[in-house]
Amino acid sequence: MEPNITTIASGLEKVRARIKEVAEKAGRQPGDIVLLAASKTNPADCIQAAFDAGQTIFGENYVQEALTKIAALTDLPIEWHFIGPIQSNKTRRIAESFAWVHSVDRKKIADRLSKDRPEALPPLQVCLQLNVSGEDSKSGVTPEEIADLAAHVIELPRLKLRGLMAIPELTKATALQRSQFRMLKEAYNRLKEAGYDLDTISMGMSEDLDVAIEEGATMVRVGTAIFGPRRYPIPEELAPR
């Protein structure tokens, strides 16, 4: 048995309870918030344990690692989401194996994902990643660039634009965190007002999901609070950013 596989069901239970509590306090329906289990570094049997506890949506960051797990769990009706930085030589494998991509942040990547999406599959569901921290090192487009990228993506035949995603700067300062989530929500609202048919605001992780839900998240991406500490350190070029 993996060291913490036995705690996965209870971890999930706690996260679900937290989502329900925070949502209700914020006057929202808990059912309006989708839980994505961010499973990077956790092997297939950990994903199986979460699946057995009722979790069907999983997010992965590293193509190679994800493909191994997707192959191992091919019999399960799992919805796989790609949430990591996208290298352009990986778009084919992402387009072939995932239902969703949260981290689209350039036209070139969007073009390639659309071109590489197999005809036999439904359109790839995508979110555009917004840089809400203003740090140069972070992935994502600026609030000024988002409308242009959205206008481009909406024209691509094999992509379906669903919403926006962000990874705020990690900070204990709740006010700063809140302002970054609010920036994502406002960008989302502006696109909606411009006529885009969107339904997804992907924000909130183990450390900040309460604030994210208060600020309007419709999908939270939770790893550590479900699976425990990551199994190995994340290579710099693949870390969430």
Ligand X SMILES: *Cc1c(COP(=O)(O)O)cnc(C)c1O
Where on the chain is the footprint of ligand X (CB under 6 A)?
38, 40, 61, 83-84, 167, 205-207, 221-225, 240
Which residue's Cβ has the minimum distance to ligand X?
Answer: 223
Alpha-carbon dihedral of residues 97, 146, 106, 215, nearest 10 degrees?
-40
Write down the least CB distance from residue 120 to ligand X, Å.
28
**Residue with Cβ nearer ligand X (12 or 222):** 222
Smallest gap from Cβ 24 to ligand X, in A, equals: 22
Nearest to ligand X of 153, 222 (CB atom)? 222
Q: Are 63 and 85 contacting, i.e. CB atoms less than 8 angstroms apart?
A: no
Sorted by sequence, the CB contacts under 8 Å of residue 8 that are 6+ apart come out as 46, 49, 50, 53, 226, 227, 228
Relative to beta strand 124-129, strand 219-222 is unpaired
Q: Which is nearer to ligand X, 11 or 187 (CB)?
A: 11
Minimum separation from the CB atom of position 97 to ligand X (A) = 17
CB of 233 to ligand X, least distance (A): 12
Q: Is 64:42 a contact under the CB 8 Å cutoff? A: no
DSSP state of 132: -
Which C-beta is closer to ligand X: that of 154 or that of 178?
Answer: 178
